[in-house]
C-alpha cells in the first residue's frame, strides 16, 4: 500500500509519501501558489515521486487537505449566489443574530454577507416546527423566484425555508423545479446541507455552501483529471472539517464540509502521536506565523463541535460567519511567530495583528520594523539566526534587537532581554488562556493530558505553556513541520449525517429515536455509495442534548446496537454523565431533551500507527555551536545553554534543561528542571517539572 | 519579583489578562448552563470581579446595563454583610431595584473569595430571570403599575449560600413567588456554579502572586485606566452641551416623558452628565433608578471617548452622573421600574445628541427604538405556563462616513431569539420578520431600516405586554440628516387593524396577530449630498423605493 498526502497551507504546500511495505516515508515542502493552488500540488507530486522513484500509477490512495474553500469565503471570491426563502423572512441573513462582538464599539459593521439583498427571493409556503405543512408551496411564487434567479444569471443557488429540517418536501420541490428550468444552476438546500434548527445559522451555512460550490467543484475536477492524466487510478480523498475523509463527489456537492480541512488533519496527527505515546487525553497545539490553534483528543478520539465561525474579526466570537458543519474542536487565537508586540497603557500587548511573512518580523530583513514574537524569540536566544527553517531563511539578530528596544524596552524602561522575555511570556499567556478554555473549562484535567506541539513555533513555546497550565508531558513528533500532511495519512473516510428533532426523552420515546436513526441510516447509505472503498462500515451515534428548558446543548455519545426498549433511558443516563463531566454538576431527575441527532459512518482505511517518520524536510547539515546564551528567568536571565541536534538526542539518552533541541523544521526549548528524550516511537518527549515556579 | 512599590510590566500584564479571562469565563459558564431565553440567547447578564473593598477591578464583555450597576451592587452587599460577617462558601443574592440594576428580574449573586480565611475580593454575576412574579408574566408590565410592590418579589441582600450549602428555605421562598420556578431555579443555580469556578481561579491567582503584588497591580490598573479616561475626556472641547427628547408616554393615554440632559466637559479630564431637567418620576413601571441611569450614561461616555478599554472603577472616576432626586432618572423607592429597559437606548440617544455639538464626527443619528414584548399564558399543548420573551432590534443611525448598520443590537448588547426556537418552545407562529423599506432617515449617510415582526398566538389566551417607544417622537437625524419613520404596533393588521400603544398591556386570544413595526433610524448629513450610486444600490436592494428616492433625494432612474 502506497499513500500520498498533501496539505495546502497559506505559505507552504506539504507532502508526505508513505510506502507501507517498504516502510519508507518521504517529505516535501514547496511554496504554495495561492492563485492556482493545483500548480504547487502537481509540481510537488512530480518531485516527491521522483525522489522516491515511484510512479503515480502505483499509488493506492491520495489524500488532500485544502484551504481553497476557506479562502474563497475569507476573500469573498466565491460565486454569484442567489437565495430562495420563505415569504416574510427575506432578511434572515441580513439580520443575523444581531449581537455586537465589541460591546463598547458602536462604529463596527457586521460581517459582510455572501450575497446582497437583491439576490434573495421569497416563495409562499410555511412549515411548522413539527413538520406540519401550514401553507402549501405556491407554484406561481416559485416560478416568479426562478425568473428572478435566471435574470441575475446565478450559477449557484441556496434554498433555505423555515423549519425545513423538520420537513424538507418544499425545498425538494423547489430544487427540482429550478433544475427543470435551469439545469446549469447548482442548487444547495438547507435540509441537506444543514438540517438543524436556528434559521440564521442554517441559512448562512447553506448560502456558504452554494457560494463556494462552483469554485471547489472546478478545483476538485481539475485535480482529479490531472491525477488521472498522470496515471492515478483510484479516488482522490479530501479531508473534511470533521477529521474524516470524503470522496470527491461529496466534497463537490457539500464543499462546506471541507472548510477546516487542514487544521483537522493536524489534530488527527496529534491523536495518532498520543496513541503511540500511550495517552488517551491529548491537547493539540499548532502555532504558526499568524495564529495558534488548540484542540483536544478525548479517549483517543478528536473532539468534535457542531459548528464554527469562518473569517472572524480579531478572533472574536460572533464576528465571523457561523457554519453548521461538524468540525474538530479548535480554538484559534491571534498568537503566532509574526504577532506584533507593543506597549498599551504601560503593559505589553501581543497580537492579534501579525506581520505575516510580508513584511514579516523585523529579523527577516524584508522591511518589517515592528517587534514580533519571532524577534523576541531570536533575542532570547531560542532561535539560531543561521538555522531558521533549516537555514532556508537567515535572520538578522541586530534588527530584532533594535525593534524590541524601539517598541518595548524603551517605552517600558526595561532591558532588551526583559522586554523580549515579556513579549514571549505574554504570547504564551494568551495561549494559556485559550488552552484553559480547551482543557479545564471543558472538564479536561491537564494533569492527565499530553500536549502534542507542532507547527513552526509550537515546539518553542510548548514546554512553558505546559508548565503554566499544569500538563506534565509534551511531545514533539517527527515531521512536526508537516504535521497536517502526516495527519492525512491517519484519516478514515467518514460520513456524518444529522437532523434536528427536539424530543423530551422518557420511556415512550424509544420508537421515535429508532425512527430518527432509521431515516439517518438511509441518508448515510446513499452517501456511502460515493465511497468506492465502502466495505466494513463502522457505525456510531451521538446527540446534542440538554435539560428541558435550556438553550445550549452538549454532545453525548449514544450507545451502539439496536434501538429498542430502554434506549431513551440509556441516552438520558449518558447525558447526565457528560453534563457532570463538563459542568461539575448534574441534576438527575430533571427532564432531558435530545435536540440534534447524528449518525456517523466510518470506513477504516488510515495507516494508524504504521508510520515511521525518518529523515527531514530541509537540511543544511551544517555544524552548529554546541552552546549559546538563552534567556531563562529561572536562571536569572541569559545563561549558557546547551544546543543539541534532534538526531543526536537518542544517543545522549536523556537531557536536562535548560537546553535547546534543533530540528530543521522547528526549535524545541527545554526549560530548567525539565528533561527530554526520544521515545521508543521516535517522538521527542519532554517531562515537564511542574514544581518549578514561574514569575 | 520586584518590590511592592513598583510592579514590573510583565507581571502586571499577566495579572490583568488573568482577571479578564476569569470574568469572561464566568460569563461563558453562565450562558451555557442557563435556562432562560434572556440569558442564554439574549446574553442579558453580566460578570464582575471586585477587590475586598468592593472596588470594581474587571468585568466580562457582556450587557452594559448590568455592568454599570455592578460597582454599586457590591458596595451595597458590604453594607448588609460587612466582611467579618462573611465566610468561605457564602454567596449573597439580591434583586432590589434601587440596590441592583433597576428592576426585579435582574438577580445578582455576589460571592466573597477567601485565601486562608482572609477575604481577598468578590466575584459577581447578574442574570435577567424570565419572571420574578408580580402583575404580569415577565415582571415588566409598565401601565397600571404604580408601586414596586406590584412588580413581584423584592429580595434585599440575603445569604443564599452559606458555607457552600444552598439555603433551600430561601430558594423555596423565591420559587413560590415566580411563574416559571424551574427556569428561575436553573438560572439561580447556574449563577452560583459560574461564580464558584471564577472564585476558584481568583483564589489561585492570589496564591500564585500574593496579596501585596495583586493589590499593587489593582492600584496600577485603576490609576492608569483613570488616566487614560481623563486624557480622552480632556480632548473634548470644554463646554456645556444640552439635548432634549421625549418618550412617547408611560402607558396608554398618558403624557410624554421629557428626557433632558446637560453634558459638561471641563476640558481638563472630567465630565458631568446631568438628567435633572427631565420629567418627574411617573406612576408606571418605567422609571430609571440612578444605578441604571449611571450605567448607560457611563456607557455612552465610554463609547465616545474610550471604547475599547476594559471597564473598571478607574475609568468611571472622572465621570459624574447626576439626576434630581425624585426625577424620572433618579426615582425614590418604591417607584416602579420593571420596564426601564425601554429607556436605556434613550439615555444614549440623549447624550449622543448633546455630544454631537462637541464631536460632530463621532455622533450618529438616533437609533431605531428597540422593542421588548412578552407574551405569556398557558401552553395548551403541554398545560404548562409559557413566557415568550422577545427582543426586536433594528437599525443604527447614519454616521460620518457610513450608512447606519442594519438590524444590530443597539446600546445593550444582546442576540435575537431565532424564530424557530420561539416556535418550538412557545405556542406562537411568526408570520414575518423583515426590514421595512423607506423607514431609515434620509441623509448623506442614511439611517438603518425599521423592522417588522408579526406574531400569531396559537394558545387559547395570553397576556401581551408591549415595551416599545418612538410611536410619537421619531428618531432624530443629525447635521441635516432627516428623522427615521415612527414606530407602530398593530393588533391583527390584516383584519380591522387596531393600533396599540407602545407600552400596551392586554389579553389576546387564539388567532390574534401582534404586528410590531419598529422605527427607522435617523440620517446623518443633508440628503442632497448623498451619492447617486448609493441611492441606486438602495433601490435595487429594496431598502428604499423609487418613489421614496424621488421624494427625498430628487432621484430619477
Q: Return the higher-pLDDT residue of A610 and A98.
A: A98
* Residue-level pLDDT at B1: 38
Q: Which B-chain residues 366-425 have CB contacts (< 8 A) with chain A? A: 393, 396, 399, 402, 405-410, 413-416, 418-421, 423-424
* Residue-level pLDDT at B307: 66
- Of A161, A172, A158, A176, nearest to A124 (Cα)? A161
User: Which chain A residues are closer than 8 Å to B34 by Cβ?
Assistant: 550-551
Q: Return the higher-pLDDT residue of B148 and A446.
A: B148
> Taking CB atoms and an 8 Å limit, are B423 and A129 in contact across chains?
yes
* Residue-level pLDDT at B438: 98
Assigned domain for A692 exists: no
Query: How many contacts does A have with B, using Cβ atoms within 8 A?
Result: 181
| Residues contacting residue A562 through CB under 8 Å, at least 6 positions apart | none
Average pLDDT over residues A259-272: 89
* Residue-level pLDDT at A209: 98
* Residue-level pLDDT at A68: 84
Assigned domain for A589 exists: yes
Assigned domain for A338 exists: no
On the question of pLDDT at B376 being above 60, the answer is yes
* Residue of A549, A633, A693 to mutate for B, most B C-beta atoms under 10 A: A549
* Residue-level pLDDT at A616: 43
Taken as a whole, chain A contains a residue count of 695
Average pLDDT over chain B, rounded to an integer: 93
Q: How confident is the model over A39-66, as pLDDT tens digits?
A: 999 999 999 999 999 999 999 889 999 8
Closest Cβ–Cβ partner in A117, A162, A345 for B420: A162
User: Which chain B residues are closer than 8 Å to A316 by Cβ?
Assistant: none
Indicate the residue among A581, A602, A623 that finishes a domain: A602
* Residue of B36, B179, B420, B536 to mutate for A, most A C-beta atoms under 10 A: B420
User: Which chain A residues are closer than 8 Å to B420 by Cβ?
Assistant: 129, 162-163, 197-199
Q: How confident is the model over B247-299, as pLDDT tens digits?
A: 999 998 999 999 999 999 999 999 999 999 999 999 999 999 999 999 999 99
> Taking CB atoms and an 8 Å limit, are A412 and B9 in contact across chains?
yes
Q: DSSP characters for A332-360?
A: EES-STTEEEEEETTEEEEEEEE-TTTT-
On the question of pLDDT at A620 being above 50, the answer is no
Show me where the domains of chain B are located: 9-226, 364-557
Which band of pLDDT confidence, cut at 50, 70 and 90, is reported for residue A532?
Answer: low
* Residue-level pLDDT at A606: 64
Q: Could you give the C-alpha distances from A575 to A183, A307, A460, A520, B37, in angstroms and in order? A: 46, 20, 39, 21, 21
User: Which chain A residues are closer than 8 Å to B402 by Cβ?
Assistant: 109
Assigned domain for A177 exists: yes
> Taking CB atoms and an 8 Å limit, are B299 and A104 in contact across chains?
yes
User: Which chain B residues are closer than 8 Å to A426 by Cβ?
Assistant: 10, 13-14, 17
> Taking CB atoms and an 8 Å limit, are B302 and A118 in contact across chains?
no
> Taking CB atoms and an 8 Å limit, are B12 and A412 in contact across chains?
no
Per-position b or e across A117-126, b if 16+ CB within 10 A of its CB: bebbbbbbbb
Taken as a whole, chain B contains a residue count of 557
> Taking CB atoms and an 8 Å limit, are B228 and A96 in contact across chains?
no
* Residue-level pLDDT at B539: 98
On the question of pLDDT at A481 being above 80, the answer is no
> Taking CB atoms and an 8 Å limit, are A418 and B13 in contact across chains?
no
Average pLDDT over residues B306-313: 79
Nearest CA in chain A to B435: A91
* B21 at interface of A, judged by CB pairs closer than 8 A: yes
* Structural domain for A508, as ranges: 494-602
- With a pLDDT cut of 70, the percent of chain B lying above it is 98
User: How far out from the chain centre does Cα A184 lie?
Assistant: 33
- CA–CA dist A72, A323 (Å, integer): 14
On the question of pLDDT at A623 being above 80, the answer is no
E strand spans, A161-257 = 186-189, 236-239, 245-246
Phi, psi of A643 (to 5 degrees): -120, 125
* Residue-level pLDDT at A340: 94
Contact B318, B226 (CB under 8 A): yes
* B23 at interface of A, judged by CB pairs closer than 8 A: no
Q: How confident is the model over A569-592, as pLDDT tens digits?
A: 999 999 999 888 777 677 777 889
User: Which chain B residues are closer than 8 Å to A107 by Cβ?
Assistant: 307, 399
* Residue-level pLDDT at A348: 92
Contact A335, A292 (CB under 8 A): yes
Name A645's bridge partners.
A662
Our count of domains for chain A comes to 2
- CA–CA dist B395, B544 (Å, integer): 14
Q: How confident is the model over A458-469, as pLDDT tens digits?
A: 999 999 999 998
- With a pLDDT cut of 90, the percent of chain B lying above it is 78
Name A86's bridge partners.
A123
**Shortest Cα–Cα distance, B437 to chain A (Å):** 12
Q: Which B-chain residues 424-463 have CB contacts (< 8 A) with chain A? A: 424, 429-435, 451, 454
**Shortest Cα–Cα distance, A494 to chain B (Å):** 29
Helix (H) or strand (E) holding B94: strand B91-94
Average pLDDT over chain A, rounded to an integer: 89
* Residue-level pLDDT at A611: 58
* Residue-level pLDDT at A133: 98
- With a pLDDT cut of 90, the percent of chain A lying above it is 56
> Taking CB atoms and an 8 Å limit, are B415 and A99 in contact across chains?
yes
In angstroms, the first-to-last Cα distance of chain B is: 72
- Of A645, A680, A639, A677, nearest to A658 (Cα)? A639
Helix B168-175 to helix B181-209 angle (10° resolution) is 140
> Taking CB atoms and an 8 Å limit, are B432 and A88 in contact across chains?
yes
Which band of pLDDT confidence, cut at 50, 70 and 90, is reported for residue B8?
Answer: confident
| Residues contacting residue A386 through CB under 8 Å, at least 6 positions apart | A394, A395, A622, A624
Per-position b or e across B214-235, b if 16+ CB within 10 A of its CB: bbbbbebbbebbbbbbbebbbe
On the question of pLDDT at B16 being above 70, the answer is yes
* Residue-level pLDDT at B3: 42
- CA–CA dist A159, A171 (Å, integer): 6
Strands B56-59 and A675-678 turn out to be: unpaired
Average pLDDT over residues A652-663: 91
Average pLDDT over residues A354-379: 90
* B307 at interface of A, judged by CB pairs closer than 8 A: yes
* Residue-level pLDDT at B82: 94
* B35 at interface of A, judged by CB pairs closer than 8 A: yes
ipTM over 0.85: yes
Strands A450-454 and A473-476 turn out to be: parallel
Average pLDDT over residues B506-511: 96
Which band of pLDDT confidence, cut at 50, 70 and 90, is reported for residue A624?
Answer: low
On the question of pLDDT at A669 being above 90, the answer is yes
On the question of pLDDT at B66 being above 80, the answer is no
Which band of pLDDT confidence, cut at 50, 70 and 90, is reported for residue A618?
Answer: very low
* Residue-level pLDDT at A510: 93
| Residues contacting residue A673 through CB under 8 Å, at least 6 positions apart | A634, A656, A657, A689, A691, A692
Question: CA torsion angle for B309, B310, B312, B315 (degrees, to 10)?
Answer: 10
> Taking CB atoms and an 8 Å limit, are B542 and A118 in contact across chains?
yes
Q: Return the higher-pLDDT residue of A80 and A663.
A: A80
**Shortest Cα–Cα distance, A126 to chain B (Å):** 9
Question: CA torsion angle for A197, A200, A203, A209 (degrees, to 10)?
Answer: -110
- Of B127, B21, B63, nearest to A103 (Cα)? B63
Name A158's bridge partners.
A83, A188
Average pLDDT over residues A547-554: 78
Q: How confident is the model over A8-17, as pLDDT tens digits?
A: 876 678 898 9
Assigned domain for A498 exists: yes
Which band of pLDDT confidence, cut at 50, 70 and 90, is reported for residue A622?
Answer: low
* Residue-level pLDDT at A70: 86
* B541 at interface of A, judged by CB pairs closer than 8 A: yes
Q: How confident is the model over A160-180, as pLDDT tens digits?
A: 999 999 999 999 999 999 999
Phi, psi of B276 (to 5 degrees): -60, -30
Which band of pLDDT confidence, cut at 50, 70 and 90, is reported for residue A300?
Answer: confident
Assigned domain for A179 exists: yes
* B11 at interface of A, judged by CB pairs closer than 8 A: yes
> Taking CB atoms and an 8 Å limit, are A92 and B433 in contact across chains?
yes
Closest Cβ–Cβ partner in B8, B21, B435 for A436: B21
CATH of the domain at A89: 3.40.50
**Shortest Cα–Cα distance, A556 to chain B (Å):** 15
Indicate the residue among A585, A602, A619 that finishes a domain: A602
Assigned domain for A94 exists: yes
Q: Which B-chain residues 87-146 have CB contacts (< 8 A) with chain A? A: none
Q: DSSP characters for B238-297?
A: PEEEEEEEEES-SSTT---EEEEEEEEE-SSS-EEEE-TTSPBP-SSTT---HHHHHHHH
* B309 at interface of A, judged by CB pairs closer than 8 A: yes
Question: CA torsion angle for B259, B301, A94, B392 (degrees, to 10)?
Answer: -40
Task: Name the one residue in this structure whose C-alpha cell is 428592576.
Answer: B103
Range with the lowest mean pLDDT among A351-365, A634-648, B373-387?
A351-365
- CA–CA dist A423, A526 (Å, integer): 53
- CA–CA dist A156, A189 (Å, integer): 11
* Residue-level pLDDT at B5: 56
Which band of pLDDT confidence, cut at 50, 70 and 90, is reported for residue B493?
Answer: very high
3-state helix, strand, coil in chain A (%, to 5): 35, 25, 40
Three-state secondary structure readout of A449-490: CEEEEECCCHHHHHHHHHHHHCCCEEEECCCHHHHHHHHHHC
Range with the lowest mean pLDDT among A138-147, B315-324, B383-392?
B383-392
Give the distance between the most distant pair of CA atoms in chain A: 81
User: 3-state DSSP call for residue A679?
Assistant: coil
- CA–CA dist A293, A286 (Å, integer): 5
Task: Name the one residue in this structure whose C-alpha cell is 524584508.
Answer: A366
| Residues contacting residue A542 through CB under 8 Å, at least 6 positions apart | A555, A556, A557, A558, A598, A600
**Shortest Cα–Cα distance, B282 to chain A (Å):** 30
* B167 at interface of A, judged by CB pairs closer than 8 A: no
* Residue-level pLDDT at A619: 47
CB atoms within 10 A of CB A637: 15
Question: CA torsion angle for A465, A469, A473, A479 (degrees, to 10)?
Answer: -40
Nearest CA in chain A to B63: A103
On the question of pLDDT at A254 being above 90, the answer is yes
- CA–CA dist A603, B250 (Å, integer): 65
Assigned domain for A231 exists: no
Nearest CA in chain B to A90: B434
On the question of pLDDT at B6 being above 90, the answer is no
Q: Could you give the C-alpha distances from B277 to B293, B352, B476, B511, in angstroms and in order? A: 14, 17, 20, 45
Average pLDDT over residues B514-520: 98
- CA–CA dist A505, A571 (Å, integer): 8
Q: How many helices (H) and strands (E) does chain A have?
A: 18, 35
Contact B452, B516 (CB under 8 A): yes
Average pLDDT over residues A681-689: 92
* Residue-level pLDDT at A436: 83
Average pLDDT over residues B54-69: 82
* Residue-level pLDDT at B308: 72
* Residue-level pLDDT at A608: 55
Helix (H) or strand (E) holding A416: helix A416-438
Amino acid at each position: 500500500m502506497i499513500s500520498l498526502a498533501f496539505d495546502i497551507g497559506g505559505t507552504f504546500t506539504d507532502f508526505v509519501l508513505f510506502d507501507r511495505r517498504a516502510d519508507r516515508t518521504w517529505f516535501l515542502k514547496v511554496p504554495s501558489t495561492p492563485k492556482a493552488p493545483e500548480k504547487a500540488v502537481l509540481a510537488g507530486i512530480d518531485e516527491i515521486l521522483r525522489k522516491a522513484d515511484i510512479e503515480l500509477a502505483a499509488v493506492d490512495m491520495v489524500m488532500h487537505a485544502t484551504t481553497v474553500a476557506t479562502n474563497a469565503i475569507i476573500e469573498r471570491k466565491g460565486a454569484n449566489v442567489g437565495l430562495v426563502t420563505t415569504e416574510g423572512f427575506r432578511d434572515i441573513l441580513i439580520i443575523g443574530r444581531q449581537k455586537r462582538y465589541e460591546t463598547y464599539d458602536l462604529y463596527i459593521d457586521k460581517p459582510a454577507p455572501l450575497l446582497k439583498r437583491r439576490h434573495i427571493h421569497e416563495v409562499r409556503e410555511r412549515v411548522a416546527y413539527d413538520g406540519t405543512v401550514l401553507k402549501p408551496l405556491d407554484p406561481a411564487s416559485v416560478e416568479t423566484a426562478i425568473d428572478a434567479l435566471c435574470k441575475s444569471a446565478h450559477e449557484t443557488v441556496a434554498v433555505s425555508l423555515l423549519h425545513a429540517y423538520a420537513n424538507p418536501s418544499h425545498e425538494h420541490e423547489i430544487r427540482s423545479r429550478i433544475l427543470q428550468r435551469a439545469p446549469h444552476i447548482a442548487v444547495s438546500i438547507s435540509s441537506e446541507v444543514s438540517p438543524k434548527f436556528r434559521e440564521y445559522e442554517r441559512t448562512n451555512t447553506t448560502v456558504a455552501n452554494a457560494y463556494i460550490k462552483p469554485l471547489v467543484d472546478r478545483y476538485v475536477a481539475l485535480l482529479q483529471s490531472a491525477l488521472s492524466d498522470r496515471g492515478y487510478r483510484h479516488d482522490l480523498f479530501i479531508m473534511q472539517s470533521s477529521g474524516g475523509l470524503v470522496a470527491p463527489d461529496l466534497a463537490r456537492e457539500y464543499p462546506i464540509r471541507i472548510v477546516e480541512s487542514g487544521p483537522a488533519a493536524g489534530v488527527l496527527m496529534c491523536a495518532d502521536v498520543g496513541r503511540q505515546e500511550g495517552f488517551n487525553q491529548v491537547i493539540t497545539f499548532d502555532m504558526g506565523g499568524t495564529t495558534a490553534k488548540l484542540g483536544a483528543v478525548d479517549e483517543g478520539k478528536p473532539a468534535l463541535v457542531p459548528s464554527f465561525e469562518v473569517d472572524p474579526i480579531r478572533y472574536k466570537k460572533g464576528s465571523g460567519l457561523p457554519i453548521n458543519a461538524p468540525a474538530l474542536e479548535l480554538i484559534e487565537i491571534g498568537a503566532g511567530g509574526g504577532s506584533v508586540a507593543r506597549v498599551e497603557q504601560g503593559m505589553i500587548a501581543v497580537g492579534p495583528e501579525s506581520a505575516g511573512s510580508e513584511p514579516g518580523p523585523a529579523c527577516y530583513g524584508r522591511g518589517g520594523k515592528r517587534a514580533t514574537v519571532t524577534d523576541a524569540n531570536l533575542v532570547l536566544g531560542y532561535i539560531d539566526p543561521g538555522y531558521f527553517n533549516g537555514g532556508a531563511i537567515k535572520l538578522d539578530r541586530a534588527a530584532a534587537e533594535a525593534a524590541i528596544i524601539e517598541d518595548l524596552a524603551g517605552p517600558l524602561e526595561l532591558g532588551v532581554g526583559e522586554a523580549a522575555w515579556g513579549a514571549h511570556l505574554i504570547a504564551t499567556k494568551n495561549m494559556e488562556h485559550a488552552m484553559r478554555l480547551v482543557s479545564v473549562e471543558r472538564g479536561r484535567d491537564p494533569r492527565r493530558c499530553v500536549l502534542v506541539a507542532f507547527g513552526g513555533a509550537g515546539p518553542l513555546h510548548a514546554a512553558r505553556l505546559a508548565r503554566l497550565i499544569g500538563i506534565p508531558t509534551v511531545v514533539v513528533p517527527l515531521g512536526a513541520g508537516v504535521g497536517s500532511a502526516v495527519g492525512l495519512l491517519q484519516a478514515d473516510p467518514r460520513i456524518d449525517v444529522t437532523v434536528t428533532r427536539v424530543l423530551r426523552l422518557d420511556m415512550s420515546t424509544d420508537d421515535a429515536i429508532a425512527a430518527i436513526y432509521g431515516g439517518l441510516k438511509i441518508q448515510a447509505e446513499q452517501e456511502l455509495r460515493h465511497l468506492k472503498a465502502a466495505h466494513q462500515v463502522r457505525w456510531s451515534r451521538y446527540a446534542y442534548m440538554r435539560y428541558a428548558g435550556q438553550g445550549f446543548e452538549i454532545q453525548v455519545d449514544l450507545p451502539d446496537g439496536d434501538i429498542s426498549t430502554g434506549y431513551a433511558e440509556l441516552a438520558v443516563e449518558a447525558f447526565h454523565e457528560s453534563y457532570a463531566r463538563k459542568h461539575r454538576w448534574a441534576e438527575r431527575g430533571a427532564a432531558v431533551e435530545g435536540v440534534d441527532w447524528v449518525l456517523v459512518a466510518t470506513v477504516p482505511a488510515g495507516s494508524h500507527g504504521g508510520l515511521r517518520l525518518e529523515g527531514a524536510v530541509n537540511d543544511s547539515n551544517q555544524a552548529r555551536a554546541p552552546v549559546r546564551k538563552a534567556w531563562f528567568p529561572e536562571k536569572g536571565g541569559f545563561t549558557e545553554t546547551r544546543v543539541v541536534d534532534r538526531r543526536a538526542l537518542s544517543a545522549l539518552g536523556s537531557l536536562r534543561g535548560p537546553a535547546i533541541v534543533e530540528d530543521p523544521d522547528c526549535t524545541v526549548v527545554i526549560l530548567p528542571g525539565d528533561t527530554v528524550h526520544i521515545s521508543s516511537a521516535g517522538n521527542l518527549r519532554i517531562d515537564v517539572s511542574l514544581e518549578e515556579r514561574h514569575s | 519579583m520586584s518590590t511592592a512599590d513598583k510592579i514590573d510590566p510583565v507581571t502586571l500584564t499577566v495579572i490583568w489578562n488573568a482577571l479578564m479571562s476569569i470574568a469572561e469565563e464566568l460569563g461563558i459558564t453562565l450562558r451555557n448552563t442557563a435556562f432562560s431565553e434572556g440569558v442564554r440567547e439574549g446574553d442579558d447578564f453580566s460578570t464582575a470581579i471586585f477587590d475586598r473593598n468592593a472596588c470594581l477591578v474587571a468585568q466580562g464583555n457582556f450587557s452594559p446595563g448590568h455592568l454599570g450597576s455592578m460597582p454599586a451592587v457590591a458596595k451595597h452587599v458590604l453594607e448588609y454583610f460587612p466582611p467579618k460577617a462573611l465566610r468561605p462558601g457564602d454567596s449573597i443574592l439580591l434583586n432590589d431595584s434601587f440596590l441592583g440594576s433597576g428592576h426585579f428580574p435582574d438577580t445578582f449573586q455576589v460571592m466573597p473569595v477567601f485565601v486562608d480565611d482572609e477575604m481577598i475580593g468578590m466575584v459577581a454575576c447578574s442574570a435577567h430571570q424570565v419572571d420574578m412574579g408580580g402583575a404580569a408574566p415577565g415582571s415588566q408590565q409598565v401601565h397600571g403599575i404604580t408601586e414596586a410592590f406590584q412588580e413581584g418579589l423584592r429580595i434585599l441582600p440575603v445569604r443564599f449560600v452559606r458555607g457552600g450549602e444552598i439555603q433551600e428555605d430561601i430558594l423555596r421562598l423565591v420559587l413560590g413567588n415566580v411563574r416559571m420556578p424551574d427556569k428561575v431555579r436553573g438560572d439561580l443555580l447556574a449563577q452560583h456554579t459560574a461564580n464558584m469556578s471564577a472564585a476558584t481561579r481568583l483564589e489561585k491567582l492570589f496564591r500564585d502572586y500574593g496579596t501585596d503584588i495583586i493589590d499593587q497591580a489593582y492600584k496600577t490598573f485603576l490609576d492608569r485606566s483613570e488616566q487614560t479616561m481623563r486624557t480622552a475626556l480632556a480632548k473634548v472641547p470644554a463646554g456645556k452641551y444640552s439635548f432634549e427628547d421625549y418618550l412617547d408616554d408611560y402607558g396608554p393615554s398618558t403624557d410624554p416623558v421629557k428626557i433632558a440632559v446637560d453634558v459638561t466637559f471641563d476640558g481638563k479630564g472630567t465630565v458631568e452628565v446631568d438628567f435633572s431637567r427631565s420629567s418627574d418620576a411617573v406612576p408606571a413601571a418605567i422609571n430609571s433608578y440612578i444605578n441604571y441611569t449611571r450605567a448607560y450614561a457611563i456607557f455612552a461616555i465610554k463609547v465616545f471617548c474610550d471604547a475599547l478599554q476594559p471597564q473598571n472603577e478607574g475609568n468611571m472616576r472622572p465621570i459624574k452622573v447626576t439626576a434630581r432626586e425624585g426625577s424620572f432618572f433618579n426615582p425614590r423607592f418604591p417607584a416602579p421600574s420593571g420596564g426601564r429597559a425601554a429607556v436605556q437606548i434613550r439615555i444614549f440617544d440623549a447624550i449622543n445628541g448633546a455630544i454631537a455639538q462637541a464631536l460632530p464626527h463621532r455622533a450618529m443619528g438616533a437609533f431605531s427604538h428597540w422593542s421588548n414584548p412578552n407574551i405569556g399564558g398557558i401552553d395548551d399543548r403541554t398545560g404548562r405556563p409559557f413566557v415568550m420573551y422577545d427582543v426586536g432590534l433594528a437599525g443604527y443611525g447614519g454616521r460620518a462616513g457610513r450608512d447606519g448598520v442594519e438590524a444590530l443590537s443597539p446600546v445593550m448588547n444582546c442576540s435575537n431569539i431565532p424564530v424557530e426556537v420561539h416556535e418550538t418552545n412557545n405556542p406562537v407562529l411568526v408570520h414575518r420578520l423583515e426590514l421595512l423599506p423607506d423607514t431609515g432617515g434620509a441623509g448623506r449617510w442614511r439611517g438603518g431600516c425599521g423592522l417588522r415582526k408579526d406574531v400569531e398566538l396559537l394558545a387559547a389566551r395570553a397576556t401581551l405586554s408591549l415595551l416599545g417607544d418612538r410611536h410619537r417622537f421619531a428618531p432624530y437625524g443629525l447635521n441635516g440628516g432627516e428623522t427615521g419613520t415612527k414606530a407602530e404596533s398593530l393588533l391583527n393588521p390584516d383584519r380591522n387593524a387596531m393600533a396599540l400603544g407602545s407600552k400596551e398591556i392586554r389579553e389576546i386570544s387564539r388567532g390574534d396577530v401582534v404586528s410590531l413595526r419598529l422605527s427607522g433610524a435617523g440620517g446623518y448629513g443633508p440628503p442632497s449630498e448623498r451619492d447617486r450610486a448609493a441611492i441606486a444600490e438602495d433601490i435595487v436592494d429594496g431598502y428604499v423605493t423609487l418613489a421614496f428616492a424621488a421624494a427625498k433625494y430628487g432621484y430619477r432612474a
